[in-house]
A and B are shown apart, each in its own frame.
Chain A
């Protein structure tokens, strides 16, 4: 029984991590808490569903398409909204509120287009198959979810740790001004970051949509809260922390739901978060991140 729960936890945790990774990337590089990230996640889910049902796209193509669509939304938000706010040096509350507006617009648009009811992927489009390892039932779908999440995260990590692009991003995270003085195209990288982060959010949306096979316009809200929890836990702007935090939250949630009441688990999680913030605002796994103006 425990092994089965651990597998569920791994599946859930890897999607949380993927979601939180985009969230924390935007915070680390752009210094914006992007509260539309949950809605972008939801858009990814609907995009994949529409591609599968209306255009008979195979699942892998639908996932790519969902990444492209949600990434484009992220890019548009940066170019049309966040960029002008940066240009006038708006205090950090302002971009956050703008992204709330974006979130409301996306959620409402999805509801208008697809209705408020729960939509599902057609059964035949999901990867079928199930095998038994020891006493654990492993669905091929879960395996695919974990694999996709970890591959994407591995790609992102390599990108950030090993490439010129990654070094530039880290320089911006330290100080955008200094990075700019070094000749880094800061604005361009803000756009790239916004695209990549939203694309990751979108994939996470597809994966959750597949895992639970339930898509609603409101599905972005709870995951947004969890994303916030994860980046607090992992240290805001810390991508390694987002990975660990995401997995941790996945495990904490599954285990507490299995052994405690489902709601009290959330209370414990947020209570813990609250305490962590008081004692260590930089997060449990995060290094101290003080951004110089």
Chain B
């Protein structure tokens, strides 16, 4: 157990980060699975982080209640902006959610209660490993169930062809809103968990770069199923650590990996369709 304690004291933050990033990647996976290219999830994460941290610091709420509020607050915001924003599609939606993200970031930067650019300090370290593990497991289970239900099929149908989906009797606007809001809940809870193990949060953690990072994790890993985003989140979180020896050039490798994956693995690293293709070729060879 000695080695484990050593390992844990050095790397627990990193392991926690993998878990939180996996949640974020899953949150964007959900919106992408409905064909929505949203860059708002970093902002939703930020709202979750700030609301939960403030509830802990100012009102002393219990941790479960704080987590719940961290999920519900961004959901409420998503519900309000969802109806008008989701009328847009493609790059316009991406740009609108990007602008929304900037509004949130700059607002947080300027409010008294959020501590302005210095952020919030001294957030109690309440998050434990099993919290993240449990919530990640619940999220994975819930999303897996969703995929196999009429809701998951409706999302997929909307992603592929909105008009055809409508004509199958699917209320496209409602389902888009559902994907958007559920994505906000997951991102918000991830933010709340994150705030309670990093001790400190500031507006710069929830900007454009972070929104892009979140999307990158999902696309890198692959969005065909739930394994992809988790894999992508792990890679993006661990890669900089593994490349520590490269110093200044380590993010160069990060960028290069991104470009190479996009070029040569169009569906991300985890692509069941490619695997199935291999399998069929093996079978076909035998038949």
Contacts and interface: CB of A to CB of B under 8 A. Distances in A.
A112 B248 contact: yes
A84 B262 CA distance: 10
Interface stretch (B2-10, B91-99, B123-131, B278-286): B91-99
Contacts of A96: 91, 94
Contacts of B209: 221
Instruction: For chain B, give the interface size range.
Output: 35 or more
B95 A228 contact: yes
Contacts of B262: 81, 85, 90, 94, 97-98, 101
Contact of B255 (A101, A225, A228, A264): A101
A23 B98 CA distance: 16
A265 to B, nearest CB: 9
A108 B248 contact: yes
A270 B231 CA distance: 34
A277 B88 contact: yes
A136 interface: no
B27 to A, nearest CB: 16
A125 interface: no
Contacts of A278: 84-85, 87-88, 96
Given A84-B263, A100-B216, A112-B248, A232 B95 contact: yes
A264 B110 contact: yes
Contacts of A263: 106, 109-110
A258 B117 CA distance: 20
A142 B96 CA distance: 34
A107 B98 contact: no
A14 B248 CA distance: 33
Interface residues of A, number: 45
B258 interface: yes
B162 to A, nearest CB: 14
A109 B106 contact: no
B59 to A, nearest CB: 26
A104 B255 contact: yes
A267 B85 contact: no
B266 interface: yes
B96 A33 contact: no
Contact of B106 (A105, A108, A221, A270): A270
A102 B259 contact: yes
B263 A98 contact: yes
Contacts of B250: 108
Contacts of B90: 92
A273 interface: yes
Contact of A101 (B91, B249, B258, B266): B258
B13 interface: no
A27 B91 CA distance: 10
Contact of B259 (A33, A101, A229): A101
B100 interface: yes
Interface string B239-272: 0000000011111101111110011001000000
B103 interface: yes
A281 interface: yes
A232 B99 contact: yes
A100 B95 contact: no
A266 interface: yes
A271 interface: yes
A94 B107 CA distance: 30
Interface string A44-79: 000000000000000000000000000000000000
Contacts of A236: 91-92, 95
A88 interface: yes
Contact of A33 (B88, B91, B107, B256): B91
Nearest to B256: A105
Contact of B208 (A105, A107, A116, A225): A225
A150 interface: no
11 contacts: A94-B266, A97-B219, A98-B262, A102-B259, A104-B251, A104-B252, A109-B252, A112-B247, A232-B99, A263-B106, A267-B109
Given A90-B262, A112-B249, A273-B102, 14 more contacts: A90-B266, A92-B37, A93-B94, A96-B94, A100-B216, A101-B255, A105-B252, A105-B255, A108-B250, A108-B252, A112-B247, A263-B110, A270-B102, A274-B99
The 4 closest A-B pairs by CB, nearest first: A104-B255, A101-B258, A105-B255, A108-B252
Interface of B: 37, 84-85, 87-88, 90-92, 94-96, 98-100, 102-103, 106-107, 109-110, 208-209, 212, 215-216, 219, 247-252, 254-259, 262-263, 266
